[in-house]
Amino acid sequence: MDTGAYRIAYLIAGYIRESLTEQEQEELNDWVNASDHNMRLFEDLTDENNLEANLAWMEKVKSEESFRALLNKGAFKKHPKWLKLGPAWIAAASIILLTGLFFIYRYARSSKVSADKIALSDSSKLQPGGNRAKLTLGDGSVVDLSTAKNGLIKKEQGSDISKLNDGELIYVAAGATAENFAMNILSTPIGGQYQLKLPDGTKVWLNAATTLRYPTRFSADERRVELEGDAYFEVAKNEKQSFRVILANSASITVLGTHFNVMAYPEETEKEVTLLEGNVAISNGTKIDRLEPGMQASITNAGISKLSGVDTAGVTGWKNGLFVFHEVPIEFIMRQVERWYDAKVVYQGEIKQVFNATILRSEPVTKLLHILELNGYVHFKIENKTIYVLP
């Protein structure tokens, strides 16, 4: 048998029955964080629904010998969950996750039924966000894009505005001069996100609690938008017409054609601009600096600081439907949790450890918190829509 698989199966069983030593917990954490495959496998093996289904299916298996006998007879050929794991994992699971874990989980769970129900009831109020936004037109009227039908929304001055599908709005320049335009505002609520294509072909992804103000048709000399929140831009290249993103306190980003992310929430102490492709000029109102791909600028009233070799996947993961946290403090993570799950976060102690996690933004908040708890440095309690963070 693969001794490594046996060892990990043992650690996972210990994790479920809450009997790991500190050293064993660190060993399991290291394995989980070693690869995305390991993390997915751990999540599958500890998922309550998967666990109960597998345990019910294999309740009759009481030893490795009987498991192998049934396996050799082809009794389990149609069960997908375990066959995907490979022979070594099946053997390890037959000893640890089938026999001991079956009884450990059954009796441990029975002693915590009421607590589990309370947690489920409380966390059910914290649902992941989705494609939600409101469009404010030039005349002040507001369109709820969550309920609006696909197709043409309005022929606004300078452009035709259409909702292509759930989560995507597009402007197409239509029969007007550059001077004939209206100002529109696209805003996402807490727990919302949306994608926009501007009349010049520039694509913008808006994260939760974000507002973008822009014209229905750009002027001849400059393409200018105003942003508050978090957005990813893929700017259509036009060497004759610069593209400017205006932030609060006179900060701005100027480009010709490039891909970058801007994080400029009012509650954040710094505005962050992360460049993935092309080049940008950054200004805080008094100083101008430039970025190269893979660099990030932090903008404050006092100045601009730059960082090279930035983990761009961690910055832009939200655009691809992921939370990607690499060596970040708990406060950074929980601010994103607040915006995406519409939660209130209360800290009941100081947590100095940094965290690593990658998870779909469509997952329940309990699954994200569960992953963060793996290293043993933080714990969570949910009451209604409040998440308490404890050491």
348-376 pLDDT, tens digit each:
988 988 888 888 898 889 888 988 887 77
Nearest to 342 by CA among 88, 62, 126, 180: 126
pLDDT beyond 90 at 377: no
Looking at the fold, whether 163 and 289 belong to one and the same domain comes out as yes
The CATH code of the domain that includes 371 is 3.55.50.30
Q: How far apart are CA 270 and CA 226, in angstroms?
A: 17
Please give the mean pLDDT across all residues of the chain.
79
Average pLDDT over residues 165-174: 90
Asked if pLDDT for residue 74 goes beyond 60, the answer is: no
- Specify whether 276 is located in the same domain as 137: yes
Q: Indicate whether 105 and 135 sit together in one domain.
A: no
Contact present, 382 and 348 (Cβ < 8 Å): no
- Residue 326 sits in the same domain as residue 303: no
Show the domain range for 95.
3-111
Answer yes or no: do 286 and 365 share one domain.
no
Would 220 be classed as within a structural domain? yes
What per-residue confidence (pLDDT) applies to 12? Answer: 74
Query: Which tens digit of pLDDT belongs to each residue from 185-219?
Result: 999 999 999 999 999 999 999 999 999 999 998 88
Least confident of 39-48, 75-84, 362-371: 75-84
- One domain for residues 232 and 370: no
The reported pLDDT for the residue numbered 225 is 95
Domain match, 173 and 289 both:
yes
**Any domain includes 365:** yes
Find out whether 257 and 242 touch, Cβ atoms under 8 Å: no
* Interatomic CA distance for residues 243 and 252, integer angstroms: 10
β-partners of residue 382 are 387
Nearest to 355 by CA among 339, 370, 342, 341: 370
CATH of the domain at 243: 2.60.120.1440
Tally of domains within the chain: 3
Q: What is the mean pLDDT of residues 336-351?
A: 93
Question: Are residues 269 and 336 both part of a single domain?
Answer: no
pLDDT over 80 (residue 125): no
